[in-house]
Structure 1
Amino acid sequence: MKELKHLNKYFRKYKFKILLGIIITIVARLFSLAVPNYVNASIQVIESYLGESIELSQAKQTLFLYILIIVGTALLSALFTFLMRQTIINVSRYIEYDLKNEVFDHYQILNLNFYKKNRIGDLMNRISEDINQVRMYAGPVIMYGMNTITTFVCVISIMYIKAPTLATYTLVPLPILSVLIYQISKIIHQRSTKVQEFLSTLSTFTQESFSGVSVIKAYGIEPRANQELEALALEGKNTSMDLAKVNAWFFPLMILLIGISNIIVIYFGGKQYLNGEIASFGLIAEFILYVNMLTWPVAIVGWLTSIVQRAEASQKRINEFLKVEPAIKNEVATETPILGNIEFKNVTFTYEDTNITALKSVSFTINAGETIAFLGKTGSGKSTILDLVARLYNVSEGQVLIDGRPIQELNLNSLRQAVGAVPQDAFLFSDTIQNNIRFGNEKASFDEIVEVAKKAVVHENIEGFTKKYDTILGERGITLSGGQKQRVSIARALLKDPKIYLFDDCLSAVDTETEEEILNNLKKVSEEKTTLIVSHRVSSAKNADRIIILEDGEILQEGTHEQLNSIEGYYKELYLNQLSEKD
């Protein structure tokens, strides 16, 4: 259970509620323990009446009183049991809420390499299914565990006080049960881990299948996808059945052992009664009730053991991610103002997951308010520059400076707030178009949203929808075309009104006329903003203050459109080719 120590901080946080729940649990059990004693007393009254020790009226009066006590204690026990569930189970939900927030917050501070190494389905399973297993430990295990301990301590103590010899005979099967639970719980732990790992695999497969359903349909590979799912389902069934087979041993074994205890009570209790060692037959009835009161606590020990083992396996998987240290850390607590000066000093960057060196000793300076365009072939390092400016990665060698300060010395939140990024593959949420644009500025008015949509030349498209700006987009914005998604993403960045714009080939799915209109609007908007434009089109770059040509991670050419077009090289060749294509 060492992995579950992570939850101790939450138990300390809710210690008073847990303590109250434990007290209520003990009180509920104590009330329920009154029933067997008064059943014994009722039988003794009947025996006294049959032995003519008391009158019928007195017997009836006493029995009526005992019945009222039995019913009253049962009702009080039920009331406190209800309060027990309301207290302890609620705490487990609070802990579930806190733990999900902790995991999600940790997910958000991890860098992009983490997401390249781990699949979305696995991430989702750990924050949902695994945490749900842990919640069972934080709630039902505590509640039923205290219930079981209280019942065991009280019942066994009462049994030994009233008839120690009979109690010893009655409890003989319990040590056997303890040994069986210990052995079986080890197997449960191993198989529970396998089940949780498989659920991550299944979640990953289904998530990828649903996300890529258009590709599956286009290539007509539905039968193959079905076969793969069938194979996974069969594996999952076998894994779950292996666990279920072990769990299935608990209840039959416990019922068998409780049944044996009942037989022992009847046999040895009857023998002692006939020998005069116990005074009343009611004691035998009382012991049978005690044994049956132990049935659920004894039976639930196995279930609780299974829950603890599964929770431990799940918490171990959660801890694996919580122990991952974020590569990008906010080194500065106070906010740092960003003006927009950017400088790369001999920057070299190698991707950790692929070991590809994207930039090699790159140096350049961008003054605040300048617009710089980066051109080059695929894989030349253009997008990497934008990622380093937003500090999505740390450089391998050299320095990135913002306003003359190393980027690590800037408050990370201030830096990200000062950046408005538009990726080539625009990501939109399953929400309204209005809310997707408002993502850039939550306080923006509807008029401001319409204004930036017009600048991004997407307003007319939105107005053409039935619900206009209240149109709900499908997952990842599948409702819109590629060009519409890019323009909504541009509108989002414009609404943010940052100090630095990062446009990563964000007009690749837009026709040339619309591109020209958007570029003219962007030029007006970004007059006092530092703007970095990555593109494959000269039309997107020619109006920039400077153009930097990259090849294999190194700067090949640098200058204005006129300067680069006046000399032979990559830019002039690209310009002439695209000009002839346009003609």
Structure 2
Amino acid sequence: MKELRHLNKYFRKYWVKLFLGVLITIIARVFQLVMPSYVKNIVEVVEKYSAGELALEAARSDLLEYIAIIVGAALLSGFFTFLMRQTIINVSRYIEYDLKNEVFDHYQRLSLNFYKSNRTGDLMNRISEDVSQVRLYAGPAIMYGIQTLTLFACLIPLMFIKAPTIAFYALVPLPVLSVLIYWISRIIHQRSTRVQAFLSSLSTFAQESFSGISVIKAYAMEPRINREAGSLALEGKDKSMDLAKVNAWFFPLMILLIGVSNIFVIYVGGMQYFRGEISSLGTILEFIIYVNMLTWPVAIVGWLTSIVQRAEASQKRINEFLDQEPDIADPGTPPVPIRGKIEFDRVSFTYPDTGIRALRNLSFTVNPGETLTILGKTGSGKSTILDLIARLYDVNDGTIRIDDKPVEEINLDSLRSAIGAVPQDAFLFSDTIENNIRFGREQAGLEQIREAAAQAVVDKNIEGFAKGYQTVLGERGITLSGGQKQRVSIARALIKDPVIYLFDDCLSAVDTETEEAILANLKRASRDKTTIIVSHRISSAINADKILVLEDGRILQQGTHSELLETEGYYKELYINQLSGKEN
């Protein structure tokens, strides 16, 4: 159970409610113990009346009194059982809430490398299914465990006080039960771990299939996907059945052992009654009730063991992620205003997951208010520059400075709050268009949203939808075309009004006329802002203050538009090719 120690901080947080729950549990079980003794008394009243030792009226009075006590104790036990569930089970829900928040917060702090090496389905399974398994340990397992311990602690001494011999024989099967539980629980732990790991694989397969449904349909791959899903389902069934077969041993074994205990009670008690060692048959009945009161606690030991083992396996999987530290750490420095000067000083960078060297000894400077356009072939390192500015990665060699300060020393929230980024692969949430644009500025009103959409030249498209800005987008913005998604993403960046704009080939899916209109609007909106535009089109570079042409992570050419046109090379060749293509 060492993995479950992670929950101790939450148990300490809610210790008052847990302590109250334990106290209420003990009270509920104490009231439950009232019944067997008074059932014995009822049998003795009947015996005395049958033997003529007690008058009818006296017998009736005693019976009514004992029945009233039994009913009252049962009602009180039920009431305290209700309070017990309201305390301990509620605590488990609070712990589930806190643990999910802890996992989600940690997910958000982890770096991009983490998400490149872990699949979405697995991440979702750990924060949902695994946390749910842990909740069962933090609530029902604790509640029923306390019930069982309380009943054993109270009932077994009481049984030995009343009839030691009968108690001894009644409890003989318990050591056998302990050995069986230990043996079976080890198997349950191994199989539970396999089941939980498989559920992550299943979640990943389902998530990828649903996200890629358009590709699956386009390639007519439904039969293959169905076969793979069927194969996974069979594998999951086999793993779950392996676990269920072991779990299935518990309850029959409990019932068998309890049945043996009942036989011992009846035989040994009957022989003692015949020999006059016990005075009443009520004692035998009392012990049969005691043994049957132990039936559920003993039977539940197996269930509790299964829950704890599954929770331990799940918490281990959760801890694997919680123990990972983000590659990009906030230096903990105070928030500072960002002016927008960006300097790369002999920067080299290699992607840790692929080993691809993206930048090689790169140096350049962008002053506040300037616009830099970066051109180059695919794989030349253009997008990497934007990722490094936003500190999604840290450089291997060299230094990146923001406002003359190394980027690693700048408060991470200050840095990213000052940046408005539009990625090449525009990502939109499954929400309304209005809220997707408002994501850039939470307090923005509808008029500001409309203005940003107009600047991104997407307002006419939005107003053409039946529900306008209230149109709910499909997953990842699938409702919109590629160009519309890019323009909504641009509107989201514009409404933020940041100090630094980072545009990563964000106009690749729009036509030339729309591109020119957007660029004109961007020029007005980004006045006095530091702007870096990654593009494959010369049109994005014409009005830039500086232009970089990259090749294999190095600067091939740099200068202004007019300077580069006077020099033979990649830029002039690209300009001529795109100009002739436009004229055609």
The two structures have a TM-score, normalised by structure 1, of 1.00
- Mapped partners of 2:520, 2:209: distance in 1: 41
**Counterpart in 2 of 1:396?**
396
> Partner letter of residue 307 of structure 1?
I
Deviation at residue 49 of structure 1 after TM alignment: 1.1
> Partner letter of residue 465 of structure 2?
F
**Counterpart in 2 of 1:163?**
163
The DSSP-based 3-state class of the residue aligned with 2:294 is helix
Deviations 1:37-83 (A, max 9, x none): 11001111111111222211000001001101101110111111111
**Counterpart in 2 of 1:304?**
304
Deviations 1:499-542 (A, max 9, x none): 00000000000000000000000000001100000000111121
The answer to whether structure 1 residue 438 and structure 2 residue 438 are counterparts is: yes
- Mapped partners of 1:538, 1:427: distance in 2: 25
> Partner letter of residue 94 of structure 2?
Y
- Mapped partners of 1:172, 1:438: distance in 2: 70
- Mapped partners of 2:139, 2:581: distance in 1: 68
Deviates more, 1:52-61 or 1:514-523: 52-61
- Mapped partners of 1:425, 1:383: distance in 2: 11
- Mapped partners of 1:332, 1:28: distance in 2: 51
- Mapped partners of 1:41, 1:512: distance in 2: 97
**Counterpart in 2 of 1:176?**
176
The answer to whether structure 1 residue 355 and structure 2 residue 339 are counterparts is: no
**Counterpart in 1 of 2:193?**
193
Q: Report matched runs for 1:312-461 at 5 Å.
A: 312-461=312-461
> Partner letter of residue 515 of structure 1?
E
**Counterpart in 1 of 2:268?**
268
- Mapped partners of 1:530, 1:448: distance in 2: 22
The answer to whether structure 1 residue 506 and structure 2 residue 506 are counterparts is: yes
Deviation at residue 329 of structure 1 after TM alignment: 0.7
The DSSP-based 3-state class of the residue aligned with 1:549 is strand
- Mapped partners of 1:240, 1:96: distance in 2: 24
**Counterpart in 1 of 2:44?**
44
- Mapped partners of 2:424, 2:511: distance in 1: 15
- Mapped partners of 1:327, 1:110: distance in 2: 7
- Mapped partners of 2:440, 2:131: distance in 1: 32
- Mapped partners of 2:415, 2:299: distance in 1: 58
> Partner letter of residue 466 of structure 1?
A
> Partner letter of residue 191 of structure 2?
R
> Partner letter of residue 250 of structure 1?
F
**Counterpart in 1 of 2:208?**
208
The DSSP-based 3-state class of the residue aligned with 1:355 is coil
Deviation at residue 97 of structure 1 after TM alignment: 0.5
**Counterpart in 2 of 1:536?**
536
Deviations 1:314-350 (A, max 9, x none): 0000000011110111103411110000000000000
Q: Contact 2:342 / 2:367 at 8 angstroms: preserved in 1? A: yes
The DSSP-based 3-state class of the residue aligned with 2:338 is coil
- Mapped partners of 1:326, 1:154: distance in 2: 50
> Partner letter of residue 219 of structure 1?
Y
- Mapped partners of 1:511, 1:539: distance in 2: 12
**Counterpart in 2 of 1:290?**
290
**Counterpart in 2 of 1:494?**
494
Deviation at residue 258 of structure 1 after TM alignment: 0.4
**Counterpart in 2 of 1:18?**
18
User: CA separation of 1:31/1:333 partners in 2, compared to 1, >3 Å: closer, same or farther?
Assistant: farther
Q: Report matched runs for 1:459-498 at 5 Å.
A: 459-498=459-498
- Mapped partners of 1:424, 1:167: distance in 2: 76
Deviation at residue 213 of structure 1 after TM alignment: 0.4
Deviation at residue 581 of structure 1 after TM alignment: 1.0
The DSSP-based 3-state class of the residue aligned with 1:231 is helix
Count of residues in correspondence between the two structures = 583
Deviation at residue 356 of structure 1 after TM alignment: 0.6
Deviation at residue 567 of structure 1 after TM alignment: 1.0
The answer to whether structure 1 residue 518 and structure 2 residue 535 are counterparts is: no
- Mapped partners of 2:230, 2:43: distance in 1: 62
- Mapped partners of 2:150, 2:332: distance in 1: 52
Q: Contact 2:333 / 2:410 at 8 angstroms: preserved in 1? A: no
- Mapped partners of 2:492, 2:132: distance in 1: 36
The answer to whether structure 1 residue 108 and structure 2 residue 98 are counterparts is: no
- Mapped partners of 2:515, 2:37: distance in 1: 88
The DSSP-based 3-state class of the residue aligned with 1:116 is helix
Q: Contact 2:455 / 2:521 at 8 angstroms: preserved in 1? A: yes
- Mapped partners of 2:460, 2:20: distance in 1: 61
- Mapped partners of 1:430, 1:275: distance in 2: 80
> Partner letter of residue 403 of structure 2?
D
> Partner letter of residue 320 of structure 1?
E
Q: Report matched runs for 1:561-576 at 5 Å.
A: 561-576=561-576
> Partner letter of residue 146 of structure 1?
I
User: CA separation of 1:64/1:333 partners in 2, compared to 1, >3 Å: closer, same or farther?
Assistant: farther
> Partner letter of residue 148 of structure 1?
T
Deviations 1:393-415 (A, max 9, x none): 00011000000000011100000
**Counterpart in 2 of 1:99?**
99
- Mapped partners of 1:398, 1:35: distance in 2: 80
Deviations 1:353-406 (A, max 9, x none): 000110000000000000000000000000000000000000011000000000
Deviation at residue 245 of structure 1 after TM alignment: 0.3
**Counterpart in 1 of 2:147?**
147
Aligned-residue Cα RMSD (Å) equals 0.5
> Partner letter of residue 362 of structure 2?
V
Deviation at residue 543 of structure 1 after TM alignment: 1.1
> Partner letter of residue 434 of structure 1?
E
> Partner letter of residue 383 of structure 1?
S
**Counterpart in 2 of 1:79?**
79
- Mapped partners of 2:286, 2:580: distance in 1: 101
Deviation at residue 566 of structure 1 after TM alignment: 1.1
Q: Report matched runs for 1:213-232 at 5 Å.
A: 213-232=213-232
Deviations 1:405-427 (A, max 9, x none): 00011100000100000001110
**Counterpart in 2 of 1:65?**
65
Q: Contact 2:250 / 2:299 at 8 angstroms: preserved in 1? A: yes
Deviation at residue 558 of structure 1 after TM alignment: 0.3
> Partner letter of residue 433 of structure 2?
I
> Partner letter of residue 556 of structure 2?
L
Deviation at residue 351 of structure 1 after TM alignment: 0.3
The DSSP-based 3-state class of the residue aligned with 1:205 is helix
The DSSP-based 3-state class of the residue aligned with 2:335 is coil
The DSSP-based 3-state class of the residue aligned with 2:324 is coil
> Partner letter of residue 457 of structure 1?
V
Deviations 1:168-199 (A, max 9, x none): 01100011000000000000000000000000
The DSSP-based 3-state class of the residue aligned with 2:52 is coil
The DSSP-based 3-state class of the residue aligned with 2:380 is coil
The DSSP-based 3-state class of the residue aligned with 2:352 is coil
- Mapped partners of 1:565, 1:19: distance in 2: 79
Q: Which runs of 5+ in 1 are unaligned?
A: none
- Mapped partners of 1:25, 1:44: distance in 2: 31
Which runs of structure 1 show a deviation greater than 4 angstroms over 4 or more consecutive aligned residues? none
The DSSP-based 3-state class of the residue aligned with 1:190 is helix
**Counterpart in 2 of 1:128?**
128
> Partner letter of residue 537 of structure 1?
R
- Mapped partners of 2:81, 2:296: distance in 1: 15
Deviations 1:544-571 (A, max 9, x none): 1111000000000001111101110000
